[in-house]
Structure formats: structure tokens, C-alpha cells
Structure 1
Amino acid sequence: MNEKQKLYIDELAESQGVAFSMAVEQGFDLCSFANMFMLSDARNHMDNGSAYWMTMTPDIMIDKLSMNSVDKATMNYSKTMAEWLGEFYARYQYYTNIPSSKIVKII
């Protein structure tokens, strides 16, 4: 992987982690949000390298997602845990090249 690719995935992983953290902060269930996000068209575009989605700020990303199917939290998850999970999913998808929709079913 060249430096340019590494910067791209670092930026995406950080943004996705913050988006997961923001979802928890807004009272959404972490598992429900992660499932919705990994199966979303937005994440599919990221899997395919869409610069539009890969460079989007987390707050705009959350605003563009349909949160209607995401459950409200019944447990408290830390923002740190949510951020780590979001970053993990982004990096795992990038390094394995497995579509996010399949990763969420495996994990």
C-alpha cells in the first residue's frame, strides 16, 4: 500500500470511528447502528472507493444516513468503544477487501 492509500484509509477509519461515537452519543444502540451502517449504500460506496463518501465529515455522514431503523440504546456503550469499533470495521474492510455487508454478518 502506498502512502496516499494509507492516508485515505486513516482518514476514513477516523471519520467512521467518530460517526459511531456520535451515534452512541445521540442515544442510538451501538450494535444496531453498526449493523445499519455496514449494510448501507453509503458504506457500499466507501467499499468501492467513492471519494465523496470517504472524505465526508462524520456529522454530515450521520445526517445523510437513514437512522429510522436504528434502535435506541438499552445499554450504555462508551464513546471510546464505539469509536474503536468504527475504526476497526473500516480498516478490516480495507485490508481484507471483503464487502462491509459480509463483514457485519461474519462478525
Structure 2
Amino acid sequence: MNTFVDIITTAPVKDAEGFVTHGDTVLASVRAFKEVRNTSAKWEHIIGNAAFSSISAMFRFRKIPDVDVDTTLFISDADGRYNIVSAEDVRGRGMYVEVLAEKTEGSVK
């Protein structure tokens, strides 16, 4: 595992007193394998699908109990923030999750 990542949700969260807070909520912090987009045959196969043409990184990490990783979440690491495009169970064994993500670029006004 070569990097630490935070799995983040942006959904509003209600605290114990009933107040709703907006912003980022970290669901989990885990170690993950990160592979940045390159010109290998594996990436050519992934990018060959038009739906995944904007993918810039792939993350693989152990499945987290009680956390369902889906496309509504974000991943944050030392290099920036990534929007999850696809998340799937590796080989259907329930041990690892593979996430295809695109880097989000901030806009300054």
C-alpha cells in the first residue's frame, strides 16, 4: 500500500443536537495502492471505454466494514481530491475495492 487516502462524503450531516452541518465528512482513512494514468496496455483497455475516458487514477484498498463506496463519494490524498467514477469489488470476494476516479480541479474566481 503506497498512500494514505480519506474517503469523503459531502452530504449534510445531522449532529446529536439536531443541527445540520454542511461540508466534508471523512468516512474512513485507509492505506491504498494508487496508480496514476499512464500508457500501459491495462490503461488503454480501461480508457477504451468511452465512459471512462476522463479517469486519471485508480485506487485499490481493503473493503471497509459498514462503508459502501459508491459514486457519490470523493477520495482525497496528498496529491488532491478525486471524484469517484466507478467502484467495484475485486474478483467478487469482498476483500478489496477498486476505484476509478478523476481528479477534480478547483476554480478560483
TM-score, shorter chain, exceeding 0.5: no
Structure with more of its chain in strand, by fraction: 2
- Quickly name the TM-score band, shorter chain normalised: under 0.3
| Greater length-normalized contact order (CA 8 Å, ≥ 6 residues apart) | 1
Q: Which has the larger radius of gyration?
A: 2
Q: Provide the TM-score with structure 2 as the length reference.
A: 0.25
Structure with more of its chain in helix, by fraction: 1
